[in-house]
Structure 1
């Protein structure tokens, strides 16, 4: 029940500063046969490997290694980390179809706050993917996923404007925080 509540909270949290359109679509997680059969690995990766993406921010630095079939990703942050422009990097390209801007996706993800390097949300910790429409989430999350191919693992370092410009106290995100995500795209519909 806690995992389901946490997944619902994320969908709400990501949607809270999402699209500015007046859409009446639900932002609650959707269940699909593909997502139901999938899971997010909960095993921590072995340390010491080389990062797949390293980025020097306006302040600080981030190093990201994507997930594998058996391990969660690693996001190492030299704090405070901030960016002045949202950065998206494909860690591992998938071979599935291209994800449309308005697709409903199933993903595994971890989100880290650049201010202090803390994990504020992770479907990897829950072991369960999150399903949601891209037109109902924060702009940085949509920028990271739309145009990628299903099966890809991507990293995004998003400006506060593309995340939560006024912060999100329930998630421990303060006004002005840069957010970093590692995302595995499991499926997309639409």
Structure 2
């Protein structure tokens, strides 16, 4: 199991912009024990132009995985977080352990490089042990939320992550469903 969002040798501070949707995630999202593999529909909740390229993101549902459409190469200079739907659970602390379903897409290629949806099971992360952009996407959100993030290379893998096909300078896009956090 490759958990690319999991760790980083280098983390840097960057600015984060957060936008909140008025929609609330269903209460069953936090109780979901599996990451659904069903095909999602490309009805974007977030369309975001990068410094080059663009993305259109549709969040997951109780039955379907998220959809990330990339006009490649997608690149951003600032890590940007967008809340697709707000959960009703507790706020995730910066040092928390969070259980999430996630999909990671490389902005240069538009291809999925890691996905708990492919495995059908959520992953658990200590936020202090993940790449900075992944932690920025989760910290301060509420359990049950669906979140998308466009992560700069500096907040992801500045030197690349060859086993995942990530090159130095690649922008990463993650879509996350936060299932729990103690």
Task: Output the TM-score relative to the length of structure 1.
Answer: 0.83
Is 1:163–2:151 an aligned residue pair?
no
Q: How does 1:93-132 map to 2 (within 5 A)?
A: 93-132=86-125
Candidates 1, 8, 15, aligned match of 1:16: 8
Structure 1: runs of 5 or more not aligned:
1-5, 21-34
Any idea what the Cα deviations from partners look like across 1:102-127, whole Å, max 9, x if unmatched?
Answer: 00010000000000101000001110
Candidates 25, 35, 41, aligned match of 1:40: 35
**1 CA distance for matches of 2:122 and 2:10?**
19
Do the aligned residues in 1 keep the contact of 2:10 with 2:158 (CA within 8 Å)? no
2:141 match = 148
Greater Rg by CA: 1
**1 CA distance for matches of 2:33 and 2:134?**
21
User: Which secondary structure state, in structure 1, belongs to the residue aligned with residue 181 of structure 2?
Assistant: strand
After superposition, the Cα gap between the structure-2 partners of 1:45 and 1:121, relative to the gap in structure 1 and judged at 3 Å, is same
**1 CA distance for matches of 2:103 and 2:9?**
18
Is 1:56–2:49 an aligned residue pair?
yes
**2 CA distance for matches of 1:62 and 1:132?**
25
Q: For residue 15 of structure 1, report the CA deviation from its aligned partner.
A: 1.1
CA RMSD of aligned residues (A): 1.8
After superposition, the Cα gap between the structure-2 partners of 1:87 and 1:19, relative to the gap in structure 1 and judged at 3 Å, is closer
Do the aligned residues in 2 keep the contact of 1:18 with 1:136 (CA within 8 Å)? no
After superposition, the Cα gap between the structure-2 partners of 1:117 and 1:37, relative to the gap in structure 1 and judged at 3 Å, is closer
2:23 match = none
After superposition, the Cα gap between the structure-2 partners of 1:52 and 1:37, relative to the gap in structure 1 and judged at 3 Å, is closer
How many positions carry a matched residue from both structures?
165
